[in-house]
């Protein structure tokens, strides 16, 4: 909730058979066979600082795109709903508010933080 939507791209790599076998085996034990998640984890753990910086940049970009909250409209959700900004569920008890350009209440986290 409130996190930037991450884009995925297809990347083709050429690996030796035995390397693929080893990777598949590891993916099986670590990620229930999901090779994408395993490769993603490998690259991220080998590039922690760079990835951290990238995520921070993406967060800042996403923050700028968020709609401005309308003052004094903060409340707690009474019913489950869907947020028009992020399309994720709003659960009863979540912090919500009105935002410029949106008819319905959206997540408070989906509004731009006021500086
Ligand atoms: Zn939202």
Ion ligand 1: protein residues whose beta carbon lies under 5 Å: 83, 85-86, 107, 110
Domain-located, residue 1: no
Who contacts 81 (Cβ-Cβ below 8 Å, separation ≥6)?
A: 89, 90, 104, 105
pLDDT tens, per residue, the chain with 115 residues: 445 556 889 999 999 999 999 999 999 999 999 999 999 999 999 999 999 999 999 989 989 999 999 999 999 999 999 999 999 999 999 999 999 999 999 999 999 876 5
Indicate whether 59 and 87 sit together in one domain: no
In angstroms, what CA-CA distances link 18 with 21, 27, 74? 5, 14, 57
Indicate whether 60 and 82 sit together in one domain: no
Domain-located, residue 2: no
Indicate whether 59 and 80 sit together in one domain: no
Indicate whether 49 and 81 sit together in one domain: no
Alpha-carbon distance 95 to 77, whole Å? 6
3-state DSSP assignment of residue 51: helix
Count of domains forming the chain: 2
Q: What is the distance in A from the centroid of ligand 1 to the CA of 82? A: 8
Domain holding 41, by residue range, is 17-65
Domain-located, residue 27: yes
């Amino acid at each position: 909730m409130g996190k930037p939507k991450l884009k995925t791209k297809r990347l083709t790599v050429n690996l030796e058979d035995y390397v693929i076998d080893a990777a598949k085996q590891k993916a099986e034990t670590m990620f229930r066979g999901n090779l994408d998640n395993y490769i993603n984890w490998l690259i991220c753990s080998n590039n922690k600082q760079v990835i951290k910086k990238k995520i921070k940049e993406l967060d800042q970009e996403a923050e700028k795109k968020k709609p401005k909250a309308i003052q004094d409209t903060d409340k707690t959700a009474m019913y489950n709903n869907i947020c028009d900004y992020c399309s994720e569920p709003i659960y009863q008890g979540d912090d919500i508010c009105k935002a410029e350009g949106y008819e319905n209440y959206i997540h408070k986290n989906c509004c731009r933080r006021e500086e």
